[in-house]
Structure 1
Amino acid sequence: MSGAFSLGDVVRRFIESSYPDASSQDWTVALSGGVDSMVLTRLLKPIADEWGVSLSAVHVNHGMRAEAARDAQFAEKACNELGIPLSLKTISLHDVPPELHKSVEADARRLRYQAIVECVLGVQNVPGSSGVPRGKADSNPSGGQVMGDSVENNKVHKPVVFLAHHADDQVETVLLRLLRGTSVEGLRGMQPVREWQGIRWMRPLLTVSKSQLVDYASSNGIDCIQDETNFDTHFTRNYIRHEVIPKLHHVQPNLAEVIGRLTDVLEAEDRWLAEVSQEHFRTLVQKRGKDLVIHTERLLSIPLPLQRRVVKIILYCLASADWTFDHVDSILRLCRESGASALVHLPGRVRVRKSYNELHFLRVDSRKSDIGSVTGAGQLKWRLDEQSMCRLQWSGSEQSWTFRCDRWNGREALGLLLADRYQALFPKGLEVTIRSYRAGERMKVLGLQGSKKVQDLFVDAKVPRHLRAEWPCFYVGDDLVWVPGVARSTLFLLDEFQDGWHVIAQSVPS
């Protein structure tokens, strides 16, 4: 029983220190039926009974395995034996919109958390539930509200959801984020307590190893089920778990403890950086109508890590998207560039407009046209993304342009596009700059040998002389890659069967 007491004490003290008012709230435990969640449920039950708390469980059927129905029946039987109400939720990966699709693992996680939220709050189609409760995606780092969303009162007691992630899961998470590229914030790993979607999510087992949970289950006769897909090393997390971490244990036997200390240190440092960044946000950012405005020189005067965080705070004030390093970096590059006017298009209908020495952040109304009016010396920056669109009109121009970006399936026939110069394909991960060409500029034209002057390309395409100076040209960095309606370059092409972005250009007289 000593093992039973020690684990129970870990959970009890965690709750008492993390959420003193937890006993006044309803508790829900996410129950898969595996050893981790079964042990956590067994540990929570006597605490809930002692404190007079209502404890329930939720089981999510992902519909991905033949044994899914068996797992649901097991969870139902276990809850009946413990006297715990159980909610069963079924999800389908087909419910993930194409523009939000990432991977099987990520999509399943997204839908699983959304199902838990719907179950706990008793609502359907939770708005803004595109993320999961782990990083800044689960809270606004400015401490304020997302524009257009309701303000959440932090003084209101929130329902509690318990998750059974343990120390070994934390190791996997940190390694995954390190391999994918992350910041100090990401290397903090999973947080023990996190508020998201009006719920307090708690992970009381992050200091407990998998082996301790297995030993506890064995010593106390706790039945559990095994998910066979956890051994499929085609999934990245499983590969790290079964192939990478065992080798790391040869180098560092106390890997979980070392990672745990790292996340504790980074959590404290990240919290301090967040506080400093929020102070800079309050002093540097002004609200003018619907725009959030910051002076470029003042932003660039603070250290680079704080620049990035202030920009990210602004973005989260506008939309709860998965803001990445690339998004933030594109804005800081815009800030440093010498041009007087430019525009960056970002996900979530967020636009960042440079006007001389100011950056204007805004979220456009989806019901209105988004027209970027740019001076003759200006430029527009556009990060290619699913179903994104921008409209461009240079000051005084006789016509405006509409550009629409959609996903391109590499299995489609490339030949269908080759004859239409108003359509182009690009690899994923590109940010393009749209501006007018410069005198003497040349382009390596697809289908021709060598390069050709852009001026001559306009002549060949019979573009009227008075329209050439305001004709939009697409650049990646300093490379001219496409003149819509005229020619496509040999740079940044798609390989056969490669997925990418399909951009369609349309010119409309003003």
Structure 2
Amino acid sequence: MSELTIFPPEALLHASLEVAMAPVVGPLVLAVSGGRDSMVLLQAVARWAPERIAAVATFDHGTGNYATEAASLVAAESRRLGLTVVRERSRTPGHSEAAWRAARWDFLGRIARAYKARVATAHTRDDQLETVVMRLMRGAGARGLAALAAPSRVVRPWLGVSRAELARWATLEKVAYLDDPMNVSRAFLRGRVRHELLPALEATTPGFADQILASAEKAASWRREVEGHVDAIGLAVSPSLDRVSCPAAALESTSSEGRGVLWPAICARAGVTLDAKGTRELVKFTRSGKRGSSICVSGGAIVLRRGAAAGEPVGDRYEVRRVSPPRVRDASRAWSGVSETLPPRFGRFRWRRLHTAPPPGECMEQDLWSMGFPRGEQVVLRVWTAGDRIRTAGAPAGRRVTRYFSAAHIPALDRPTWPVLLVANELVWVPGVCRALAAPSRPGRSELIWYRCEPECD
């Protein structure tokens, strides 16, 4: 009887890395925590594909000495290898797996965008198995069961490699790493699944892990087919990745079952994860929705059915907008200074200094996205608040900005982040919406400094 062939760890890891990176264009940001699996990822990519590394990103969750020491290890090892490292510490330590995951991915997303790169993680075959089992426990459908193998911009070279195989290479290569005490804890669901449930299931049903992983791969294959179909129906995704729209006909021409498959995939492009209830609500909305109607769905989104804008060659479209949780207003949402130093970005808006003033007359009056300020003028730039009032030519006694938002068709969801400018504590400009009667801009005054405000997401 022939013996089972066991590949040397180096050959296995090198091949896994090459297969994962072959279809990836552009640089990578390596997500490295300081644990064994991610430190193996750091060493392997640095050895076999160092030119692909834009940066190493490590996040200190602020949960104690281990988190800080692990981040320090990653930083030291990255510098030893001659790599750029970006390190950040959480200001508000979370107390749940979900909170830690959200904070970590927010950090990794920011770093990846800064380097125009894709994130690479050290998720393993074991991580995939645990994730699929946890999703089964929560009643996930075929879409959710694909888990870490689902189509994604995240690169996961070790997804077909077990932790044991990574451990072999780490031992042979003397890879430095720290053991996370949470790996042996039963305090959270993943730990209980790893140390109690999975060993019991494998003992009672030998081959259980392989069967689950095979089902997950079938689900991932199905998801790739669905994503391919969604790509072909004419989606439009905003640069900020929080809005997506698709032709209404693409959804209304299919069956209810088909819509139940397409809606979760479409919403996912805006970063929204639908649950079963949200999917049912959208299927129903597609059958009965009228132009101009909208619906809020679980998962943090609002879906609108709108007509085509002027000049658009397509018909009605459904638009999905991800709704961010409300934030407490603080000083970081305001800026003050002289007119020459307006920040180039504030929230979702760019502020571009113009070399010449807009032409005077009716054109200037209609262009509410541009305004001039005298040199040295002290201005305050902040976000709109519900009580803001502005004195305009049509309402010299003052009128709530809310009414001008409505007249300008600014969606209610966009208003809490909309910028306003004040001079001498008086609101003088709501970009794209209205100017005050006392606005300092007067076409023809050569001493004015002109700015144009432009929303980044449009």
TM-score, normalised via structure 1 length:
0.51
Equivalent of residue 119 in structure 2, options 161, 179, 182: 161
- 1:36 partner SS: helix
Where structure 2 has 5 or more consecutive residues not aligned to the other structure, the ranges are 1-5, 236-243, 307-315, 324-458
- Contact residue 291 and residue 361 of structure 1 kept, 8 A: yes
Q: Deviations over 1:439-465 (max 9, x none)?
A: xxxxxxxxxxxxxxxxxxxxxxxxxxx
Change (3 A) 1:316 1:222: closer
Deviation of the 1:335 alpha carbon: 5.9
Where structure 1 has 5 or more consecutive residues not aligned to the other structure, the ranges are 97-102, 124-157, 196-200, 284-289, 354-358, 367-510
- 1:29 partner SS: strand
Take 1:83 and 1:13, find their aligned partners in 2: how far apart are those partners? 22
- 1:121 partner SS: helix
- 2:29 partner SS: strand
Equivalent of residue 5 in structure 1, options 5, 10, 28: 10
Deviation of the 1:11 alpha carbon: 3.1
Deviation of the 1:187 alpha carbon: 0.7
Change (3 A) 1:269 1:27: closer
What does 1:24-103 align with in structure 2 at a 5 Å threshold?
A: 25-49=26-50, 52-54=51-53, 56-93=55-92
Q: Deviations over 1:341-391 (max 9, x none)?
A: 9974334343579xxxxx98557999xxxxxxxxxxxxxxxxxxxxxxxxx
In the alignment, structure 1 residue 331 sits paired with structure 2 residue 336: no
In the other structure, the counterpart of 1:251 is: 204
Take 1:325 and 1:248, find their aligned partners in 2: how far apart are those partners? 27
- Contact residue 267 and residue 320 of structure 2 kept, 8 A: no
Deviation of the 1:336 alpha carbon: 6.7
Take 1:219 and 1:81, find their aligned partners in 2: how far apart are those partners? 20
In the alignment, structure 1 residue 214 sits paired with structure 2 residue 167: yes
Equivalent of residue 149 in structure 2, options 182, 191, 200: 191
- Contact residue 274 and residue 309 of structure 1 kept, 8 A: no
- Contact residue 350 and residue 362 of structure 1 kept, 8 A: yes
Equivalent of residue 111 in structure 2, options 106, 111, 119: 119
Take 1:175 and 1:309, find their aligned partners in 2: how far apart are those partners? 22
Take 2:246 and 2:82, find their aligned partners in 1: how far apart are those partners? 52
- Contact residue 11 and residue 43 of structure 1 kept, 8 A: no
Aligned letter for 1:88? R
Equivalent of residue 102 in structure 2, options 107, 110, 115: 110
- Contact residue 30 and residue 37 of structure 1 kept, 8 A: yes
Take 1:161 and 1:30, find their aligned partners in 2: how far apart are those partners? 7
Take 1:365 and 1:170, find their aligned partners in 2: how far apart are those partners? 27
Change (3 A) 1:241 1:352: farther
Aligned letter for 2:100? A
In the other structure, the counterpart of 1:383 is: none
- Contact residue 14 and residue 48 of structure 2 kept, 8 A: no
Change (3 A) 1:364 1:73: closer
Take 1:365 and 1:32, find their aligned partners in 2: how far apart are those partners? 29
Take 1:243 and 1:224, find their aligned partners in 2: how far apart are those partners? 25
Deviation of the 1:91 alpha carbon: 1.7
Change (3 A) 1:34 1:315: closer
TM-score, normalised via structure 2 length:
0.56
Deviation of the 1:295 alpha carbon: 7.5
When the two chains are superposed, the root-mean-square deviation of aligned CA atoms in Å is 3.9
Deviation of the 1:282 alpha carbon: 6.0
Take 2:53 and 2:247, find their aligned partners in 1: how far apart are those partners? 47
- Contact residue 21 and residue 155 of structure 2 kept, 8 A: no
